[in-house]
Amino acid sequence: MARKVAIVGVGMQKFEFCKVETIEEMVFDVARNALEDARLSKDDIDAVVTGSAVDAFCGIVNSDKVATDGAGGFLKPTMRNSTSGSSAVSTPILGYNHVASGMYDIVMVICYEKMSENASAQAVFNTVYDEAYVRPIGLNVPIQCGLEARAYLHRYGLTERQMAKVSVKNRGNAISNPYAQLPMKLTVDDVMASPYLSWPVKLLDTSPVTDGARAVILASEDVARELTDSPVWIRGTGRGADSVWFMGRANPDLGRLDYAYLAARQAYEMAGIKDPAVEIDYAEVYDPFTFKEMQHCEALGLCPEGGAGRMIDEGVSWKDGALPVNASGGLQGEGNPIGAGMSRLNWCYLQIQGKAGDCQVSKDVNTAVCNAWGGMYQYNAVMVIGRD
Amino acid sequence: MAEESRILTGYVSLPYKWAMGPATTRFYEEFRKKRIMGSRCGKCNRILVPARSFCSDCFVETDEWVEVSQEGSIRTWVLINFAYEGQPKEPPYILAILDLDGADVGLPHFVGGFEMKDLETVEEKVRIGGRVKAVWKENREGYILDIDYFEPID
- Which residue ranges make up each domain of chain B? 21-152
Q: In the predicted model, what is the mean pLDDT of residues A112-124? A: 90
A141-156 and A160-173 helices, crossing angle to 10°: 120
Confidence band for B84, pLDDT divided at 50, 70 and 90? confident
Q: Round to whole Å and give the CA distance between A6 and A316.
A: 29
**CA neighbor of A66 nearest in space, from A32, A27, A24:** A24
Q: Round to whole Å and give the CA distance between A340 and A214.
A: 6
Q: Is the pLDDT of residue B2 over 80?
A: no
Helix, strand, coil content of chain B in percent (nearest 5) = 15, 30, 55
Q: In the predicted model, what is the mean pLDDT of residues A160-182? A: 98
- Residue B141 amino acid letter: E
User: Considering chain B, what is the average pLDDT of its residues?
Assistant: 94
Q: Is the pLDDT of residue B122 over 80?
A: yes
Say how far residue A207 (Cα) sits from the centre of its chain. Answer: 12
CB contact under 8 A, B88 and A137: yes
In DSSP terms, B132 is beta-bridged to B72, B152
CB contact under 8 A, B95 and A138: yes
Burial of A349-373, coded b for 16+ CB within 10 Å and e otherwise, reads bbbbbeebeebbbeeebbbbbbbbb
Q: Round to whole Å and give the CA distance between A85 and A96.
A: 18
State the greatest distance between any 2 C-alpha atoms of chain B, in Å, as a whole number: 67
Instruction: Name every residue in A having a CB less than 8 A away from some CB of B.
Output: 20-21, 56, 59, 119-120, 122-123, 126, 131-134, 136-140, 142-143, 146-151, 154, 195-201, 243, 245, 247-248, 250, 252, 254
Interface with B, mutate which of A147, A205, A206 (most B CBs under 10 A) = A147
Q: In the predicted model, what is the mean pLDDT of residues B74-96? A: 93
Confidence band for B13, pLDDT divided at 50, 70 and 90? confident
Using alpha carbons, list the distances in angstroms from residue A258 to A300, A371, B21.
11, 14, 29
Confidence band for B87, pLDDT divided at 50, 70 and 90? confident
What are the boundaries of each domain within chain A?
5-119+210-227
| Contact between residue A183 and residue A208 where contact means Cβ atoms under 8 Å apart | no
HEC-encoded secondary structure of A348-384? HHHHHHCCCHHHCCCCCCCEEEEEEEECCCCEEEEEE
First to last CA, chain A: 18
CB-facing half-sphere around the CA of A58: CA atoms within 13 A: 27
Q: What angle do CA A82, A88, A89 make, to 5 degrees?
A: 100
Instruction: Give me the pLDDT at residue A308, please.
Output: 98
Instruction: Give me the pLDDT at residue A72, please.
Output: 93
By Cβ distance, the residue of B75, B105, B110 closest to A137 is B110
Q: Give residue-wise pLDDT tens across range A220-249.
A: 999 999 999 989 999 999 999 999 999 989
Q: Give residue-wise pLDDT tens across range B56-82.
A: 999 999 989 999 999 999 999 999 999
| Contact between residue B54 and residue A244 where contact means Cβ atoms under 8 Å apart | no
By Cβ distance, the residue of B48, B52, B95 closest to A137 is B95
Instruction: Give me the pLDDT at residue B1, please.
Output: 56
| Positions of E strands within chain B | 37-40, 47-48, 54-55, 60-61, 64-67, 71-80, 93-100, 107-111, 131-136, 147-152
Instruction: Give me the pLDDT at residue A198, please.
Output: 96
Confidence band for A128, pLDDT divided at 50, 70 and 90? confident
Q: Is the pLDDT of residue A261 over 60?
A: yes
Sign of CA dihedral A311, A315, A320, A325: positive
Closest CA of chain A from B144, distance in Å: 6
**CA neighbor of A9 nearest in space, from A359, A356, A350:** A350
Q: Round to whole Å and give the CA distance between A128 and A155.
A: 27
Q: Is the pLDDT of residue A181 over 70?
A: yes
By Cβ distance, the residue of A137, A150, A199 closest to B108 is A137
Q: Is the pLDDT of residue A43 over 70?
A: yes
Closest CA of chain B from A25, distance in Å: 12
The CATH number of A5-119+210-227 is 3.40.47.10
CB contact under 8 A, B86 and A138: yes
First to last CA, chain B: 66
Please compute Rg for chain B using Cα positions: 20
Q: Which residues in chain B have Cβ-Cβ distances shorter than 8 Å to A24?
A: none
Instruction: Give me the pLDDT at residue A312, please.
Output: 98
- Residue B97 amino acid letter: I
What backbone torsions phi and psi does residue B38 show, to the nearest 5 degrees? -115, 160
Q: In the predicted model, what is the mean pLDDT of residues B111-136? A: 95
By Cβ distance, the residue of B79, B87, B104 closest to A138 is B87
CB-facing half-sphere around the CA of A229: CA atoms within 13 A: 0
Instruction: Give me the pLDDT at residue A343, please.
Output: 98
Q: Round to whole Å and give the CA distance between A353 and A216.
A: 14
Q: Is the pLDDT of residue A114 over 70?
A: yes
Which chain B residue has its CA at the smallest distance from A60's CA?
Answer: B12
Least confident of A111-120, B3-12, B126-135: B3-12
CB contact under 8 A, A143 and B12: no
CB contact under 8 A, B18 and A131: yes
CB contact under 8 A, A150 and B128: yes
What percentage of residues in chain A have a pLDDT greater than 70? 100
Confidence band for B94, pLDDT divided at 50, 70 and 90? very high
In DSSP terms, B151 is beta-bridged to B133
Using alpha carbons, list the distances in angstroms from residue B80 to A140, A142, A175, B153.
11, 9, 31, 21
**CA neighbor of A268 nearest in space, from A243, A302, A304:** A302
By Cβ distance, the residue of B85, B119, B144 closest to A123 is B85
Q: Which residues in chain B have Cβ-Cβ distances shorter than 8 Å to A133?
A: 24, 50, 108, 144
Q: Give residue-wise pLDDT tens across range A328-338.
A: 999 999 999 99
CB contact under 8 A, B95 and A143: yes
Confidence band for B4, pLDDT divided at 50, 70 and 90? confident
